[in-house]
Structure 1
């Protein structure tokens, strides 16, 4: 019967250390991806709001008892692009995929960016494209 067990806990300690390090890296990367998506959505929401407010006073008309206006595709796209040009952000490869108004009263903006993992190497670069869509509507009361 062998009673010398020196070194058996060292292997177990190394295994749990590597497992803990891998868990920390995965949680860090998942959190970073979530925050990057939230930043992109916030930017898309602001662009959609700016685009929904891009109507001109000449376009307002009386429709029964309510005021109405129509957003055109060109003004929505220009307002969204202008908002993105003026905004400060740290998003990689930001792209305005679509900006338009399907019903003439609301604006829809779709943005795409690329997320880079916070800890990556040249051997294993980790990037994920993310895309969000935000809608906004301008309403008269």
Structure 2
């Protein structure tokens, strides 16, 4: 009986050879996939923040795009009236000058209400390492609003 147990124990130890290697390779592949995903997410966050910077500047330039003839006096306060054409032009000029390092940058929309300008800007983002788990690229878009203030 003990001989049978010894033979069975030897057979079981022989069958376990190499199972650690498969486990190690699996964990290494999981670690590489996780590193690629975190790198891509960080890259997208940085690109989105850079795009927000351009959108904020474009909205500020658009909010200040008024002539003195467009200033209205209500009692004692002066308020500027923004025109859509001037807002579009100012936002496009700012975005083209400031976003030279962003891929596929475009102003998707610029509009004005009474005292504020809304600007939507988008650009193309591509992950630093392309893999099966990540998309080939995305279009990021952000919207920023700036208010026009006329100080007496």
- TM-score, normalised relative to structure 2: 0.84
More helix by share: 2
Hey, what's the Cα distance between the residues in 2 that align with 1:87 and 1:112?
A: 13
Judged with a 3 Å threshold, the aligned counterparts in structure 2 of structure 1 residues 129 and 3 are, in CA distance, closer, same or farther, namely same
Q: Does 1:118 align with 2:128?
A: yes
Q: Does 1:56 align with 2:63?
A: no
Matches within 5 A, 1:9-28: 9-28=20-39
Give CA-to-partner distance per residue, 1:36-81, whole Å, 9 cap, x none: 1111111111100000011112222321121112010011011111
Hey, what's the Cα distance between the residues in 2 that align with 1:58 and 1:85?
A: 27
* C-alpha RMSD over aligned residues: 1.6
Residue segments in structure 1 that go unaligned for 5+ positions in a row = none
Residue segments in structure 2 that go unaligned for 5+ positions in a row = 1-7
Which has the larger Rg?
Answer: 2
Correspondence for 2:147 among 134, 137, 140 = 137
Matches within 5 A, 1:78-97: 78-97=89-108
- TM-score, normalised relative to structure 1: 0.90
**Across the two proteins, how many residue pairs are aligned to each other?**
138
Structure 1 stretches of 4+ moved >3 Å = none
